[in-house]
Structure 1
């Protein structure tokens, strides 16, 4: 695996770990909604993940990350259409999709 791809995967792994560190301990949506700093930090890390995947896809368009294109699109939506991103969208991504992405990234890093 190229060093640039490995570096981007490490960036994604770090961003995921940071997202988990910003989640409320109770993992309750209402608590998340009240934490403006935490929400913004999570959004920023989702942007980092999307940008890292975008850079990987420029090198390897068929890179094996589930929903890679959707992740990049989400990054674009957060950064360019910030007024169309709801707390519910971010929360759903974090509680439904993030663990699978984390597993995929760890496997890619381990297998390389």
Structure 2
């Protein structure tokens, strides 16, 4: 695997792990997330990082098999450029539904 792609995959994995760390002392519940502005912004920032890394991966090798890769980039763009239309419900759905799948796929690619 190309070294740059490997670095970007680790960046994604680190961002997912960081998001998980936000819920160590806080219940991983939507209401708790929605009522914590700092956590919401931190999660959004990590989703931006995930989306940017995914964009770079797709530009370098669009044959890499990762679920929702294009949607991940689109989400990053929406958070950055359409910040006023970011839905807490959608972000939360990504955190609890899609990030665990992405983590597993990346760990398999990296052989972890």
Task: Please classify the TM superposition score into its range, dividing by the shorter chain length.
Answer: over 0.9
- In the alignment of these two chains, the number of paired residues is 111
Q: Which moved more, 1:57-66 or 1:9-18?
A: 57-66
Q: Give the secondary-structure state (helix, strand or coil) at the position aligned to 1:64.
A: coil
Counterpart-to-counterpart distance in 2, 1:51 and 1:81: 16
Aligned counterpart, 1:14: 14
Q: CA deviation at 1:54?
A: 0.3
Aligned counterpart, 1:65: 66
Counterpart-to-counterpart distance in 2, 1:29 and 1:83: 20
Q: Give the secondary-structure state (helix, strand or coil) at the position aligned to 1:66.
A: coil
Give TM-score, length-normalised by structure 1.
0.95
Counterpart-to-counterpart distance in 1, 2:105 and 2:26: 24
Give TM-score, length-normalised by structure 2.
0.95
RMSD: 1.2
After superposition, give the CA deviation of every residue in 1:20-53 in whole Å (9 maximum; x if it has no partner): 1113632111111111111100000001000000
Q: Which runs of 5+ in 2 are unaligned?
A: none
Are 1:26 and 2:27 counterparts? yes
Structure 1 runs, 4 residues or longer, greater than 2 Å off: none
Q: Which runs of 5+ in 1 are unaligned?
A: none
Q: Verify the 8 A CA contact 2:12 2:53 in the aligned structure 1.
A: yes
